[in-house]
A and B are shown apart, each in its own frame.
Chain A
Amino acid sequence: MSCSICDNKTGEIVFCEYHEVAYKNIKEAFKSWQKAMNIEWMEYLKRIIEHDFTGKWVREVAEFLIRNETNIS
């Protein structure tokens, strides 16, 4: 399989090693965001896309998740 974002090889998962780490970080950080301001998943994704501190891979994954309307699993 290849990564849904960058075409790098992935094995059995949707994302490559880098985008997979970014995806895990997005899910992990969502817990802190929810606790901090009771935010919805999609709104959270939009906010992190806009933020200057957000890493490139995180932004790419967040854009992918919005495009595909993926809910948090």
Chain B
Amino acid sequence: MSTLIITEKPSACLRIATALADDNSLKKFEENGVTYYRVKHNGDQLIVVSALGHLYTVTQRGEGWVYPVFNTMWVPSYKVSRSARNTKSFIEVIKKLASEVDVFVNACDFDLEGSLIGYSIIKYSCGGEAVKKAKRMKFSTLTKTELISSFEKMSGSLDLNMVEAGQTRHEVDWLFGINLSRALTLALKNTSGMYRALSTGRVQGPTLSFLYQREKEIQSFVPVPYWVINAELELDGNRYQLEYSQTRIDVKAEAERIVGECKGKPTVIADIKTTEYRQNPPVPFDIGSLQVEAYKLFGFTPRRTLNIAERLYLEALISYPRTSSQKIPESINVVEILKGMAQQPAYRKIAEEILTKDRIIPNQGEKEDPAHPAIHVTGNKPERELDSDERKLYDLIAKRFFALFGEPALKESVKAEIHVGDHLFYLKGRYVKEPGWLRFYEPYFKQEDIILPPLSIGQSLPTPIINIDEKYITPPSRYNPSSLLKLMEKENLGTKATRADIIETLIKRGFVTSQPMELTELGFSVIDVLEKYSPTVLSVKLTRDIEEDLELIQENKKTRKEVIVEAISALKPILEEFKMKEYVIGTDLSAALKKLWKKQNYIGLCPKCGSGDLTVIYSRSSYKRFIGCSNYRNGSCDASFPLPQKGRIESTDKKCEHCGYPIIKVFIPGRRPWNMCVNWLQCPGRLAALNNKKKTAAEVSK
């Protein structure tokens, strides 16, 4: 009997083939750039071949760039997207190999996407009957032991509920994304003749709406003053900060009165409270908490963390990262993992210390994921030198894993109540008495100890120096990729697998800047239009309901057809309204875009004529861009300046110190942005710099 095993990515393919191969039975083949392996496993012939992510995708049935479109079908990805053209050879090779085998195995990642990738390949590339003869391998790590066990215990059929949910997600997202994006783009095109790809989607809309609400709060924020009273006390040669009992005082005169009343008054300790408390070990990482921690510690965006984690997973160093579980189930042999980690010099000491404990039980979190455990190291040693990012993330995951086995940390806090005249101040101290798990999580846990000198009730203290600080209420902070991801998770928007991509899309579309995430004028325009004419698209409820429906499909409580019908009924009135108001929407969008383009292309006042505006212009004959004066049209000014043809140009509001012409900033991917004077051909500053350069070069050559 021979079996075809389909994996999601080439690197997983090699790992699975190697794990299942009997001694020396692994043979590598290559056809049209597609690598596959033939191996013997307990005497049976296995062919292990890889996909390249999704080989099939949703598209519209019928022709035309129109909306609404509700009829969809699944086709090879290469027929729809030019960027997927390299998937064609994978389909051809898999089709050929399918004719040699009797059994099919989906060994893609065990999640909605993996289930769907394997299913669609088996269904569309391996023949109609193949699905009936297909099995599912389920694993959370790519270690040899787990892969063999997964192969031997694999289920006798595909996980069709997950497949259904996966198909539904793709179809619903396609319906929302394509229809709404076309509605926006066509409203603009049909009204003004302008073309610009505008997009929104089921998750993208509500996420953008969060950023919009926050930006509105920030831009309309008025700071209000308040005052804080601080005191500094010197004891045994050390200085300590005292906090006034009222943390914020809203009236300046009152703050001044308090300080006046404290002047020269006796300072006495009225009470001392000491509290001991235990801080439990952290819970295991799910993907969200790993992304948040990696952003906090290393500044990695959620997408970057996910990419690195996936690489570590494919190297069998960590478990499957797209998990929402915070639990390490008993079935995972933590002792073996710790023994494995003890083989790595960097972790030997900690791992061996944990192994000497009587009870080796990890701390667990609340969240569960039926498909995968929390993210943990596998105990395998890296087979190659990890790059700096991989090393950082691996170390973080390893240290978090160790921390799960630590004792609670014992901390002590001291709060002394100090009377200065009739006013109450606090002197606070804190320190770690027993570090417990904190030692295992170093250097990722930081807390500065404040150790107080011996104090006693009734003790007189030197008079503190008292100050008033003027402060202001601060506006809410802008979201960063990590805090936005946290919010999406809280609001149940998107999934652990898609959130990072949605955030990247918002940045890529130019709706928000990357860090901090500030809504751009384009973002404002799109959301203004959606809020005015189609607020449902921005509603969290709509998309959250669909997420819940997808979960119900997985639990076999709802069908794909029901969810699609519901999605279409939600979408239909939105699109009808869009169509009805197309002219108004298009007019609003084009006005906003014209304003945006004008602003983007405006460089500054023309220094030559003193009255025209310098703007970026695209030549109708050569399509090249340059800077020209608006007075050219009436014949009164012919100022024009050449520009780099690649990259983005931004005005800076700065003037050249040599010639007084505007300075622009040039952004070219892969290069550091630089400032340049628009008059660079004639600018005396540049000419002097060039001469200097020539002189230096001549001197060097002498």
Residues of A within 8 A of B251 (CB): 35-37
Contact in complex: B252, A48 (CB < 8 Å): no
Residues of A within 8 A of B225 (CB): 33, 36-37
Residues of A within 8 A of B475 (CB): 53, 55
Instruction: Say which one of B151-159, B216-224, B430-438, B447-455 lies at the interface with A.
Output: B216-224
A58, B223: Cα distance in complex, Å: 10
Contact in complex: A36, B223 (CB < 8 Å): no
> Any chain A CB within 8 A of the CB of B444?
no
Residue of chain B at shortest CB distance from A26: B222
A18: contacting residue among B216, B223, B472, CB under 8 A = B216
**Which residues of A15-34 have CB atoms within 8 Å of chain B's CB atoms?**
18, 21-22, 25-26, 28-29, 32-33
Contact in complex: B221, A21 (CB < 8 Å): no
> Any chain B CB within 8 A of the CB of A56?
yes
Residues of B within 8 A of A54 (CB): 221-223
> Any chain A CB within 8 A of the CB of B369?
no
> Any chain A CB within 8 A of the CB of B474?
yes
A51: contacting residue among B218, B219, B472, CB under 8 A = B472
**Smallest Cβ distance from A52 to chain B, in angstroms?**
8
A36, B252: Cα distance in complex, Å: 6
Chain B binding surface, main DSSP class: loop
B222: contacting residue among A7, A36, A37, A55, CB under 8 A = A55
A48: contacting residue among B216, B222, B226, B474, CB under 8 A = B222
For the complex, count residues of A whose C-beta is within 8 A of B: 21
A33, B474: Cα distance in complex, Å: 15
**Smallest Cβ distance from B600 to chain A, in angstroms?**
16
A37, B470: Cα distance in complex, Å: 11
Residue of chain B at shortest CB distance from A44: B222
A32, B218: Cα distance in complex, Å: 19
Residue of chain B at shortest CB distance from A59: B219
Residues of A within 8 A of B472 (CB): 51, 53
**Smallest Cβ distance from B208 to chain A, in angstroms?**
17
A25: contacting residue among B221, B250, B252, B474, CB under 8 A = B221
**Smallest Cβ distance from A57 to chain B, in angstroms?**
5
- Mark interface residues in A1-25 (1 if CB within 8 Å of B CB, else 0): 0000001000000000010011001
**Pairs of residues from A and B, 6 with the lowest C-beta to C-beta distance, nearest first:** A29-B222, A53-B223, A55-B219, A55-B221, A22-B220, A57-B219
A-B contacts, 10 listed (Cβ < 8 Å): A25-B222, A28-B222, A33-B225, A36-B225, A37-B225, A37-B252, A48-B222, A58-B219, A58-B220, A58-B221
Query: 15 new A-B pairs (CB below 8 Å) besides A18-B219, A53-B223?
Result: A29-B223, A32-B224, A33-B224, A36-B224, A36-B250, A36-B251, A36-B252, A48-B223, A51-B472, A55-B218, A55-B219, A55-B221, A55-B475, A56-B219, A57-B220
